[in-house]
Amino acid sequence: MVQETEKKHYFCNMKTLTRLIAALLCFAAFFSCKKIENAYSPVSINGSWVISAENNGNEWEERTADLIYDFDGKGHYTIRRCTGTAPSFQNGQVNAGESSFSRQDDKVYFAKYTDKEYLFESIPGTFTLVSSQSGQMTFDYKGTSNAKGYRFSRVERFNASGPASGGEQTINGTAIKEGNDLVGLITDKKTGKGIPGVTVSDGYDCVTTDENGVYQFKSNSLTRMVFYSTPSEYKIATGSGPSVPLFYKAVSPKGGRVRTDFSIEPLEGGKETSWTFIGIGDPQCATTSNVGRYGSETIPDIRQCVSSKKNVYAMTLGDIVFDSTDMWPSMKSSMSSVSTGSWYIPFFQTIGNHDHDSLKPDTSDDAMDDYLATSTFEDYFGPVNYSFNRGDVHIVSMDDIIATSQKSSSKSNKKTWSYSGGFTNAQVEWLKKDLSLVPDKGEKMIFICCHIPFRNSTANHYQDVLKLMEDFKEAHLMIGHTHYTQNYIYTSSHKAKGGLPIYEHIHGSACGAWWTSNSSSTVSGEPSGYTVYQIEGAHIKDWQFKGTRKESDFQLRVFDGNDIYYKTNYPLNWYTATQHVGSLTFTVKGNATLKNCFVAQVFNDDDTYWSVELRRKSTGAKIGDFKRLANGTCSNIAMSAYYYNKKNKTSDSYRSWTASHYWYFKPASGDPAGEIDWEVVATHRLPGSGNVSHSYSCSTMTKEADFEEEFYF
């Protein structure tokens, strides 16, 4: 074998891609390819191999195989180490089960070749092919100072010992069919009995456990973990911390059968008919300071907000980090133990574009790029496409980022991924399989949690996913990404079985405007925060946006549409359509309609279920109704003026107008500042909830002098 110091750097993590090159039946054919001059291309070695020790002029020997190297045929490789006694390697077989091997490390390496010279990303030196034949290649290796001989020997299969070997076997009374390499048993932790009907997946296929609690299926060539969809009647299993869900195990079933068992604990009293869901958009932490603020501001605020509740579950909706892989351990730790009394809140995770690891190679193949780029997230949090059940709700979390290419970044990775939004064919097929196994869909509610908004897009299978959601009684999308709140209601295109339109909740960011120093406002002016949903059966009974460090009834601000902010520096106002900040070339957008009007910003509004009125504060008498500006017609002038003038921002991100949360009412005087005895009342009527509604009031105007208080802590 290669000496230990060399082995560690060798080959790591595999990724099957678009096509698998012929199975090396004849390496001669492969090496007869046209010589590539002055350029290296990906190595086309495919499959599992072991490396014999340096020959030193002696005859080659079969050696103990404590390392297995997996190549994907596209130049990427992974290494696995034997976790117990090193198995023997003989005649192309390794006499140990796949479960005897674990990942050497979490890296993905890249190999290249030109003619007969091979370069491996992790090894300083060159391999020169000496000879090749079916199942074997011999190399001379020239490192920094000396030449050595090595041999690659193909592993035809893992020959597991005992009952896990090929052919029929029995688990808990169930015969395992030939060819099924992902098998296992799911048991009730209290009774020890197998649990029937539990969905199990590898992210590509989905099956349910049989009457004995046994699952079995054939893995995909890209499988790297197996996981189950927690039934409503069982607790969420946790791992490294009481708030870290652990419903998965890493597997690598290449050439052998892997048995993975799970034991889950029943809920006292059965499934929860009433519970709380917390949606958290974009923590997006790039530094230890950012993580510190998330841990000292957002997390304690969540804990206090739901302190009187049990049955609370949280989901971050992507961009947990900001192209900063060094922040993963501390971010996971910040959400590992969040309690409300004796209840620990499980924190589930959805992957975002900035969670795609840009330290992985850009292969110019989108499918491979995404597979590589999601591996670090999966190492910390498990699968990127998964589901679980609470009460009468089926919750699905999916990766809707398709990584395309890399570009430079100022964050610690120094790179970030360019991307498009949507799903691959394989993801949609997985979702169809997962949803097909949900019983009584017409009586259930579905949440699909993703990062990038759908907003009725026709790109990359968004419509296919929306169509699948229609089979449920009630359907909601839980989304992040934008750093502002927005509610997209599918009133004319997609409705659930119960009659309500599909509702897309786009959450503002926990990081506000990217943790700007001493600030807690998002790019559209609402506070940084999260949203709390109260679930009853298959229905969202109630929900409310919650600003971090704000009272729960803080849901709006009121401005004077005649105000001009920062007149002596870079003045901005509500009523001029095209405005510029100093020498900056981009536009800040006002709206002439707002001149002489009260302007109310309602943080989490929509134009279907919200209404806004001006009333006499002393009597409650109605003065008039506000109208809502159309989306895309106005920036938050107050917030933009603050960030450009006081925080010295130069990016167009701080003039966002995609979602317009602005309502206006023109008093008879045309002078809002001169009006007395008034208050603005915003009312939210909950969809499908009968008479359930909430009203929030504000009777003071936010002026320039208030900005530090309003946009600071």
Q: Are residues 119 and 170 in the same domain?
A: no
Q: Are residues 288 and 259 in the same domain?
A: no
Question: Quick one: pLDDT at residue 711?
Answer: 85
Phi, psi of 162 (to 5 degrees): 70, -155
b/e code 556-591 from CB counts within 10 Å (16+ = b): bbbbbbbbebbeeebebbbbbeebebeeeeeebbbb
The residues, ordered by sequence, that sit 6+ positions from 102 with a Cβ below 8 Å of its Cβ are 80, 81, 83, 250
Q: What is the pTM of this model?
A: 0.79
Strand positions, DSSP E, 30-99: 41-42, 46-52, 67-72, 76-82, 89-90, 93-94
Q: Are residues 63 and 179 in the same domain?
A: no
End-to-end CA distance of the chain: 60
Q: Are residues 666 and 600 in the same domain?
A: yes
Q: Are residues 468 and 560 in the same domain?
A: no
Q: Is residue 270 part of a domain?
A: no
The two tokens of residue 694 are 């909430």
Question: Quick one: pLDDT at residue 160?
Answer: 42
Low-confidence spans in the chain with pLDDT less than 50: 1-38, 160-168
Question: Quick one: pLDDT at residue 145?
Answer: 61
**Domain-terminating residue out of 237, 264, 291:** 264
Question: Quick one: pLDDT at residue 5?
Answer: 32
Q: Helices in 228-334 by DSSP H: which ranges? A: 288-293, 299-305, 328-334
Q: Are residues 226 and 295 in the same domain?
A: no
Q: Is residue 196 part of a domain?
A: yes
Q: Classify 582 as helix, strand or coil.
A: coil
Q: Classify 506 as helix, strand or coil.
A: strand
Spatial contact of 660 and 676, defined as CB atoms under 8 Å apart: no
**Domain-terminating residue out of 218, 236, 264:** 264
**Domain-terminating residue out of 133, 158, 183:** 158
Q: Is residue 47 part of a domain?
A: yes
Question: Quick one: pLDDT at residue 140?
Answer: 83
Q: Are residues 218 and 318 in the same domain?
A: no
Q: Are residues 142 and 193 in the same domain?
A: no
Spatial contact of 296 and 329, defined as CB atoms under 8 Å apart: no
For the range 619-624, what are the long-range contacts, defined as Cβ-Cβ under 8 Å and sequence gap of 24 or more? 623/665, 623/667, 623/678, 624/665, 624/667
Q: Are residues 258 and 228 in the same domain?
A: yes
Q: Are residues 206 and 85 in the same domain?
A: no
Instruction: Return the sign of the alpha-carbon dihedral for residues 16, 20, 26, 29.
Output: negative
Q: Classify 615 as helix, strand or coil.
A: strand
Q: Are residues 537 and 680 in the same domain?
A: no
Q: Is residue 271 part of a domain?
A: no
Domain count within the chain: 4
Spatial contact of 585 and 619, defined as CB atoms under 8 Å apart: no
| CATH at residue 65 | 2.40.128
pLDDT in tens, 107-120: 677 888 887 888 88
Rg (CA), the chain: 29
For residue 687, give Cα distances in angstroms to 196, 470, 543, 684, 693: 36, 17, 10, 9, 9
* Domain assignment of residue 618, given as a range: 556-711
